[in-house]
Structure 1
């Protein structure tokens, strides 16, 4: 006897109101946009069309289809075993920081390539620049410590005319630094974004994967399988998310007038108190915590600026008008 067909909500209300991903996936449309997805679309136990989210190839094909259908990216690929990002969550980050910029601009979100964003840890997928450029026309610098990631993202840019001239990739030569070696003299950014390494060790990353798989009711798992992939630098660093973000905060003070809003994703609520303390100690003039929710997962964006209210007004008047 087949399980009773699930009744799904019409929209995923936890996602940002401007998200293109609030409705359930229309696989007929996605396959039309990217035929590579077709072999992976099957009926699940509830007789709904879906893909096997435990199959890295299926997840990668779904991402290719989403990027083709919603963002006009016809050529997208990443090396094997590199992080395949969940696109709805990445899009939410972009929409929330767009609102952050808009709040400083009388509610109007600034658009166009004059808005310059720095993506710290762009990865092999180039996902934040793709979404930010398509949704708001922003220009991006994508930075990473991994040459393979930089090469992969650069290939994506070169293969898609809409990204050419709007996205530049830079290799961070020193893994101890975040902004040094990337932000050039007299260069200014309206926004920095970052999805920091989540775990503090490889063992912790593997344990987290096991918990995720068990939560999704995958049975008889004995070996960790990263269905979204991921290299060491993408998944963990010494001290984990908290230490990475605290280092970012410390270094951001040295670029206080080079950027309007510094932002980062912060996945662990337990890290929020110490990160906010570090931002205050660094002398930020304004701090914001922006909640985000996708499904059962609750996350947040932490944003800070060193600009005074008068400096903020001057920035908007001279750069955004």
Structure 2
């Protein structure tokens, strides 16, 4: 991919938004989990099955070990990812929501490619904050055959992510890079000859460790688990290290920094994107992007159960430039 290096006209197309909706039509996880099939793919999941008050089978979603085993079963049965693990305490992401983000990004590319999703390793994606779970590269490679670069500031996370990549024989299509400069997102990771069709990110959204702990307590209570004793950190059902859950200024500050940095590397990326957990941050982000000179901004709603989410994507390239880049012109 060799996108044009000239700066496009300084205008911003009208932001396009979509209301939150059920899982993407291409998402494999519509409806209830088929636990019989998942146990067949990962027999260790059987130990975590519970009976609901209505008499149906489920798992205890307040138990981080059960959630991790469910992920392992989903990845094996639905995506052919035979080996996956994360160290205790690291973020264990819900697979259906993560793959929905990838499907939404695939639709962005399809709109620039005549309606067909570009597939194969020539399509390059940068995952900012790949984490120990390496979930986006593993899912994106399985679904669309894309190649990935995953960056992270945490050496332990990169070690775990690398083990997952090697265990599945994906070293040729998933590369991991250490971000050495705390506070930087693209600088220090992108090389001068790098070009990416997409970037994606699941940013930390709390402003402090205390706020993250309070949010975890609420989540555990909502899932029917017992609250932690006063002064003791709760066991997180989806885990998470400090840099995965919170940063100074929280999500709003992190995303403003991403917008600023994207200006400097705009010639190397067709579409930048990030999940946005808090709807109240969107108006300011749209203002920041208009000021930065983004020519197109897309706000895409997502939903999983009662949880409403969305991602924001922006490009400094006009539609014709993006189409040419996807054709390899």
TM-score between both structures, scaled by the size of structure 2: 0.90
Q: How far did residue 316 of structure 1 move?
A: 2.1
CA RMSD of superposed structures (Å): 1.3
Q: How far did residue 51 of structure 1 move?
A: 1.1
Structure 1, residues 55-96: CA drift from partner, whole Å, max 9, x if none? 111111111111110111111110110011011100100000
Q: Which residue of 2 aligns with 1:252?
A: 262
CA contact (8 A) 2:158 2:178 kept: yes
* Distance in 2 (alpha carbons) for counterparts of 1:178 and 1:33: 37
Which of residues 177, 183, 188 in structure 1 aligns to 2:184? 177
Q: Cα gap change, 1:154/1:237 in structure 2, threshold over 3 Å: closer, same or farther?
A: same
CA contact (8 A) 2:61 2:223 kept: no
Q: How far did residue 313 of structure 1 move?
A: 2.9
* Distance in 1 (alpha carbons) for counterparts of 2:225 and 2:326: 50
Q: 297-306 vs 13-22, which deviates more? A: 13-22
Q: How far did residue 47 of structure 1 move?
A: 1.4
Q: How far did residue 197 of structure 1 move?
A: 0.3
Structure 2 residue matching 1:113: 3-state secondary structure:
coil
Q: Which residue of 2 aligns with 1:269?
A: 279
Q: Cα gap change, 1:180/1:51 in structure 2, threshold over 3 Å: closer, same or farther?
A: same
Q: Which residue of 1 aligns with 2:173?
A: 166
Q: Which residue of 1 aligns with 2:147?
A: 139
1:203-242 maps to which residues of 2 (within 5 A)? 203-219=210-226, 221-222=228-229, 223=232, 224-242=234-252
1:100 matched to 2:105? no
* Distance in 1 (alpha carbons) for counterparts of 2:285 and 2:113: 27
Q: 86-95 vs 36-45, which deviates more? A: 36-45
Unaligned runs of at least 5 residues, structure 1: 1-12
1:63-142 maps to which residues of 2 (within 5 A)? 63-142=71-150
Which of residues 38, 42, 54 in structure 2 aligns to 1:34? 42
Q: Which residue of 2 aligns with 1:194?
A: 201
Structure 1 residue matching 2:238: 3-state secondary structure:
coil
Q: 291-300 vs 214-223, which deviates more? A: 214-223
CA contact (8 A) 2:41 2:73 kept: yes
TM-score between both structures, scaled by the size of structure 1: 0.92
Which of residues 45, 54, 57 in structure 1 aligns to 2:53? 45
Q: How far did residue 225 of structure 1 move?
A: 2.5
1:277-316 maps to which residues of 2 (within 5 A)? 277-316=287-326
Q: How far did residue 220 of structure 1 move?
A: 5.2
Structure 1 residue matching 2:216: 3-state secondary structure:
helix
Unaligned runs of at least 5 residues, structure 2: 1-20
Q: 230-239 vs 308-317, which deviates more? A: 308-317
Q: How far did residue 214 of structure 1 move?
A: 2.8
Structure 1, residues 224-245: CA drift from partner, whole Å, max 9, x if none? 2311110000000001001101
Q: How far did residue 213 of structure 1 move?
A: 2.4
